[in-house]
Chain A
Amino acid sequence: MSDDDALWWARLRSGGPRPVSPDSAYPAGVRRLVEPDAGAVWLVPDLPDGARPDVLDELGLPGAHVDQRGDTARVLAACLRCCWTEPSGPVWPGVGAQLDDVATAFRSITDNRDERALHAALLGAVRRLAGSGWLIFDEDQRVVRLGPRVAMWNAAELSSLRELWRSMPR
């Protein structure tokens, strides 16, 4: 691995997935996720099985802390239900979904909280997920897309996510 590659890897792993222009060079061992409009390319490290974030679970170590983990996971599931229109195919890039649609899907898998609490939970979770690259959130258009981090789920994980997708109401 050249020094350049090593630097790229260090940047990718310490900073998370990042967009580059489509014609830029990229290091070995990363996956390129092309934006639907081909305007940018996300570089996602292609990690071997023993080095993925879920290793923490195997070791019984706590991962990064998430506020309201349950709600955040539910919002991600709702976004997955709305944005992954072709679950037989790859999860990236998916399509954009209106925040209202996501809210509907979210409401169907949560307890009957009142509208305001639901909206606060939804918006907080969407922003948290957008911050860590799980979602891309356009605040002005109120459109949610799946982020580049979803491409790090491997084939086995995607198949269990398909099960989840089918079990969720639209």
Chain B
Amino acid sequence: MRVTGGTEPTLDQLAGDAAVVRLYRQVFAVLARESGAMIADSGMLDVDEAILDAFADAGREGLTLDQAVAACRPLDARLVTRRFEVLREYGAISKVVDRPNERFHRAAFAPYVMLLFLRRMAEQGGQAELHQLLTLEHVNVQEPDATAEVGRTSVSRLSRIFRHLGNELAILAAGSTAETLGDHAQLLWGNKSLITQAEHVHAVVIERWPQLHGECATLRLALAAYGDAVETAAGRLIEQAGTTRALGLLPVETWVSFARGSDADTLAGVLDGFVFDAPAPWFSPHQLTEAVESGRQTGGARQPPPRPEAGAAPPPETTVAPADDADHLRDLAERLLGDTTSVPVTEVLDDSGDWPAARRVLADLTALHHHPDLPYELVWSDGLRIDVTASPSWTSHGSLVRVADAEAEK
């Protein structure tokens, strides 16, 4: 929701807005959650600023809610009302005189200063403020009439700041993706001069109040931890950039505008200190193997080109009848049957002599029975001939029958 309206925001503006909101949300999250009004976009921030501006212009009488809404006229009235309530709930705006029906309000200056600081910190990552804070602490502890208590609070404050910085960075470096790290880390790390400044404060304190060595040791630890966290985070980002050769450490727009806005010397200067390999070809074993394989393939199995089929086509082969022993079987059957239409199997087997020969005959009989074209079949009956002295010692009763005759008999 953009209440300021106007032209479509550019990507840079959106990124800036997002940074402002992120910081604002961190700072005011607790308050806002309690009052049920989280800052959800930078438009709300603009509303806050407009309300506070209106109070600045109003002079010493203060403003009523309606006047404030009127002063912020281009903004949505309901939105202004809601933010007005929120600001009043956490004390940025309070009644001029604290009585039930008081309509005029006054604004405290601190929230406005806070807002200004927020905007600046979001733009510059808060490092300038940190530098100023460090300078202030340095001045504080150098005051001639400063007491040990001043030194103690100053040192413990610095320890806590650097602990915060170091912890956030270390957690990001350990647990988050490289993109998240790249997004957040620029707000946190930096610069050796932060540590140097803190060390100056530390040097003054330890010299003036040697009894504070415990607090000073804590500060030294915090500084070292921050330094380590910076190293770790930088190492991870560089490692990431090294494996992917990603140029994503800076936003694309930065690269593009650098490439567009630089003269030839600046562009060439990017490559100062780079040496390029001689343009020699590189042959990996994979390429060699592939080349040898492909050479073999074209050399080995060369297919003859397809021949034209005009006229010279060979005549189609004559159809070959499937091999069949029907004639042989028919002869056998006729020989066995003779004039009769049926002959007992036992008799046929007895005539054939020994069992191996009988077995061959039996196989032929079975083939006769199963052959689709031949009019013979085996008909088995229940009887069984047993003769312990013969070679097939038992034989089923059955007979070979000429089918056509059998049907004719019926």
Contacts and interface: CB of A to CB of B under 8 A. Distances in A.
Contacts, number: 93
Contact of A63 (B282, B288, B294): B282
A164 B285 contact: yes
Nearest to B282: A53
The 4 closest A-B pairs by CB, nearest first: A73-B291, A53-B282, A132-B280, A111-B298
Interface residues of B, number: 27
Nearest to A113: B299
Interface string A123-164: 000000000111000000000000001000100011011011
Given A76-B288, A109-B295, A164-B292, A10 B282 contact: no
Interface residues of A, number: 42
A111 B295 contact: yes
Contact of B281 (A63, A112, A164): A63
A149 B296 CA distance: 26
Contacts of A39: none
A134 B283 contact: yes
Given A59-B245, A109-B295, A109-B299, A14 B278 contact: yes
A13 interface: yes
A163 B292 CA distance: 12
Interface string A48-73: 00100110110100011110011111
B242 A164 contact: no
A43 interface: no
A148 B259 CA distance: 39
A21 B218 CA distance: 60
B289 A160 contact: yes
B275 A109 contact: no
Contacts of A164: 285, 288-289, 292
A74 B278 CA distance: 22
A48 B287 CA distance: 21
A77 B283 CA distance: 10
A102 B291 CA distance: 16
B401 to A, nearest CB: 71
Given A13-B275, A73-B291, A153 B285 contact: yes
B277 interface: yes
Given A59-B245, A64-B281, A111-B299, A77 B276 contact: no
A15 interface: yes
A104 interface: no
A56 B279 CA distance: 12
A27 interface: no
B335 interface: no
Given A157-B284, A164-B288, A109 B296 contact: yes
A14 B275 contact: yes
Given A59-B245, A77-B292, A109-B295, A16 B278 contact: yes
